[in-house]
Amino acid sequence: MTRSRRSLVVAAAAAVLALAGVPALAADIPPPDAVVTSPNVTHVLNIPKPAAIAATINTDIAFQGDYAYVGNYGGFSIYDIRNPKKAKAVSSVVCPGSQMDVSVYDNLLFTAVDSSRSDDSCNSTSLGADQKAAWEGVRIFDVSDKANPRYVKSVETNCGSHTLTLVPGKGRDRNKNVYVYVSSYSPAANFPDCSPPHDKISIIKVPLRDPASAAVASTPVVFPDGGNETQPGLLVPTSGCHDITTYAEKDIAAGACMGDGVLFDISDRLNPKVTARTTDPNFAFWHSATFSNDARKVVFTDELGGGGAATCNEATGPNRGADAIYEIVRGQLVFKSYYKIPRYQDNSENCVAHNGSLIPVKGRDIMVQAWYMGGLSVWDFTDTANPREIGYFERGPRSVGGGGGIWSAYYYNGYIYAADFHEGLDVIKIDDRLTNSAKDVRTDRLNTQTQESYRTGGHHW
C-alpha cells in the first residue's frame, strides 16, 4: 500500500522514537492498513494469498533452494523466490488442519496438524478429539515437482502436532534418516489419543529412501514430575512442549514448553535428555526459542494471551509478552534481560512476541522477529543486558477489524520474508551497516527450528 504524506511523517517520527527506545504515543499509531517502516527498511513486494486458500490464515515458512513453503490453516503454498522482487506463487495444496507448521528436507515437506480431523486425508472434516476415530499428527508430501506436490504419508501422534522440528541423523545415519520432534500438549481425560499425563514429545523416524515407512520411533517423557503447573498467570500449565529448536551439529536443543524453558542433549536422537530447566514469573506461555550462532545464548518468547490479545501497550508493560534473553553458562540458563518492541500498538491489535530467525552477521547477534499486528522487528542482542531495535515494518490497525498480523518473519539469502495472516507473503529488505554483511552469507535450506551454523566461503563461523 502506498503511504500517504501523513503516514510517512508518522513513520519517520515513530522511527526516531523507536530507535531511541522511546515508546510511541497513541497519536503515532499508523492509519488503518497503512504500511510503515523505519528508514532503513523497504517493503519490496506483497503477494496476496492464492485463491485456493485465501479464506484461511497464513502461518509458518520454510525455505529450500529458490523456493519458500508457506503454511496455512487450509493447506500450504509454494513460492518461487529466485528473484525476490518478482516472487510468485507456483502452487497451492488444499489440505485443511491447523496450524500447518512446515519444514522441508530434500524433496520432503512435513506439515503439522493439531486439529482433530475425521481422517488423515486432505478431504477430511473436523471431528472432536473425544472421538476415537479422530486423526491428528504429521502429513508428509513429496515436493520434487513444485507445481504438483504429492501426498506421501501421514503419521498419527498423541495429542497431534502443534509444531514440528526436523533433526538430521548423525554419523553414518546422517544420509539415511531424518527425525521429526513433534511438540503437542493439552491432554484431557476424555481424549482417547491424548490422555493425561502427556508431558512428552513424539519422535518420528523417516527413512529418506523410503519416507512412506515413517513411523513414531520413541515418545520420551520430558517432564516426569509434571512440569510447571502451579505458577500464577500461566496461560496453560505445562503438559508437553510448544516448540523445540535443535542445533544438531552441537547435539543440543532448546524447548519452549508452556510453563518451562529447557535445554536438551540430543546426542542420542531418539532419547533427548533435559540438561537444564528454568521458569519465569513474567512468562505466561513459553512459545519458541532461538540460539545465537555460537550457541552461547538463547532467546525464548512469551506468547502472552495466546496470540489473540493486545499486549504491546502501556498497560502490559515491557517485561510481559516479550523475549527473554539467556546466556548458557556451564550448561545452565542464566537470565540477562527482556526485549519487547518499543512501539505501543492500538488496543484493537493483537501483538506479542512470535516467530523469528537470526540474521547472519558475523560477530553480532541480530534477529528478525514477528509480532503479529506489531509487524516485525529487527533487533540486536549482542549485549544481552541491553538489547535494542535496529529497524521495523508494520501495518496500521485493520480497517475491517479483527485480529491478524505477521505470524512468521525470517531472513533468507538477503531478504526478509513475512507470512501475514490475511495479507499474504511480504518481501522486505533492510539496509543498515549492522546487517549489510549478511548479504554475503548464503544457505540452501532454512527451517528455523533446525538451526545450523552459518558459513562463508564453505567454512563454519
pTM for the full model? 0.94
pLDDT of residue 461: 57
* Grid cell digits, residue 364: 553480532
Domain span holding position 166: 5-460
Mean pLDDT per block of 10 residues along the chain (461 residues) reads 33 45 62 97 98 98 98 98 98 97 98 98 97 97 98 98 97 95 97 96 98 98 96 97 98 98 98 98 98 98 98 97 98 98 96 98 97 98 98 97 96 98 98 96 97 72 57
Residue 160 CB contacts under 8 Å (≥ 6 apart), including other chains: 112, 113, 114, 115, 116, 136, 137, 184, 194
Q: Which residues of 51-89 are buried (b: 16+ CB within 10 A; e: fewer)?
A: ebbeebbbbbbbbbeebbbbbbbbbbbbbbbeebeebeb
Report d(CA 303, CA 352) in Å as an integer.
Answer: 6
The CA R_g of the chain, rounded to the nearest whole Å, is 21
- Our CA angle for 428, 353, 244, nearest 5°, is 100
The CATH number for 422's domain is 2.130.10.10
Report d(CA 183, CA 163) in Å as an integer.
Answer: 5
Q: Which helix (H) or strand (E) holds 329?
A: strand 323-329
Number of domains in the chain: 1
pLDDT of residue 457: 54
Beta bridge partners of 338: 324
Beta bridge partners of 113: 99, 137
Report d(CA 438, CA 280) in Å as an integer.
Answer: 33
Long-range contacts of 115-119 (CB under 8 A, 24+ apart): 115/160, 116/160
Q: Which helix (H) or strand (E) holds 204?
A: strand 202-207
pLDDT of residue 28: 82
